[in-house]
Structure 1
Amino acid sequence: MPELKKLTEKELMRLNSEIMDELKARKIIRTRNNPIADYCEWYVAKKFKWNLQISSNSGFDAIDSKNLRVQIKCRTLINGKGTKQLGVIRKLNDDTFDYLIALLFDENTEVIKGYKISKELIRKYSKYNKHQNGHILNLKGNLLTDEKLEDITLLLK
């Protein structure tokens, strides 16, 4: 067993990934998405030197360098495959955030793609889901070719 305190954040996340794989293989868990959401928010805030908000904050996860409210979402793809559907975006039409950062990670928690997505694009490409009481956005199709989408992948690597 490695001494956890001596591992880097990236090494801890890789160890977590291996543990999640084993738990899934044993059918103890069904997904690998936790704690990736928290890691994603931490990672983005650290990369851009933003102010990460408390986890119970509603609507946004960080404050950027221009004092804008940022919602942060991610997905993990295994061998480049899997859904690119982000978590539910709630209260899209309320004034709860200014824009969204979306990341796709590989199974080793390496950034595959990163996007800055305006509320305008979210409204245009997401679909409201009554059951989940929020909007669903997939990182695919026409969204990815929209000239207003900002690819920030290189800034996140």
Structure 2
Amino acid sequence: MDEAHDDLSAVSVPALLGRYAAILAELRDRGVVRTRNAPLGDYAEYLAAKVYNGTLEPNSVKSHDLLTADGRRVQVKARTVAPDTGAGAVFSVFRSFDFDIAVLITFDSATYALRQAREVPVSELETAGRHSAHVNGRLIRITAGLRLGVDITQQFRAVSSR
């Protein structure tokens, strides 16, 4: 069995968390992730920066995640999906629309393999989904979001395979 598919069932929870911390540290050292949070968002932003030849903004910038080479402000939203992901599942909340485009990306929940990526103009997002007072923002269902904008999956596959 290769190391990417080790049987982890006998490994203790503290040991699993230690491996997770070590993996996050290695991903940080490689520049793939920028925080110690769950790596999905950072990984998606990293790939988007490669696709758009852009520059990642500091984490303190709330309205967008990166600037493209041609000056567009990009908000990146990523979500893992599984066969049992419900129809009501949403991307993380949009609280601001102070960006030019959003990139909506889904990854396989078991492998983190890229599934789909869409580039969506802000004007489409402002009218998509529903406003939620509970989270003070607009929620876009995954199924709806992946029908917006244009498909850019191949561009993301090209950089994710490197």
Distance 2:100 2:84 in 1: 30
RMSD value, Cα: 2.8
Does 1:59 pair with 2:63?
yes
Does 1:155 pair with 2:159?
no
Amino acid in the other structure paired with 1:99: I
Residue 129 (structure 1) aligns with: 132
Residue 109 (structure 1) aligns with: 112
Once the 2 structures are TM-superposed, how far is the Cα of residue 91 of structure 1 from its aligned partner? Answer: 2.0
Residue 75 (structure 2) aligns with: 71
Unaligned runs of 5+ in 1: 1-10, 27-32
Q: Tell me: CA distance 1:58–1:118, structure 2 relative to 1, closer, same or farther (3 Å).
A: same
Q: How many residues align?
A: 126
Amino acid in the other structure paired with 1:133: N
Distance 2:129 2:140 in 1: 4
Residue 91 (structure 2) aligns with: 86
Amino acid in the other structure paired with 2:139: I
Q: Tell me: CA distance 1:145–1:48, structure 2 relative to 1, closer, same or farther (3 Å).
A: closer
Aligned sequence identity (%): 24
Residue 100 (structure 2) aligns with: 98
TM-score, with length taken from structure 1: 0.69
Distance 2:146 2:48 in 1: 20
SS in structure 2 opposite 1:86? coil
TM-score, with length taken from structure 2: 0.67
Residue 31 (structure 2) aligns with: none
Once the 2 structures are TM-superposed, how far is the Cα of residue 139 of structure 1 from its aligned partner? Answer: 2.6
Runs of 4+ in 1 over 4 A off after TM superposition: 143-146
Distance 1:113 1:41 in 2: 14
SS in structure 1 opposite 2:49? helix
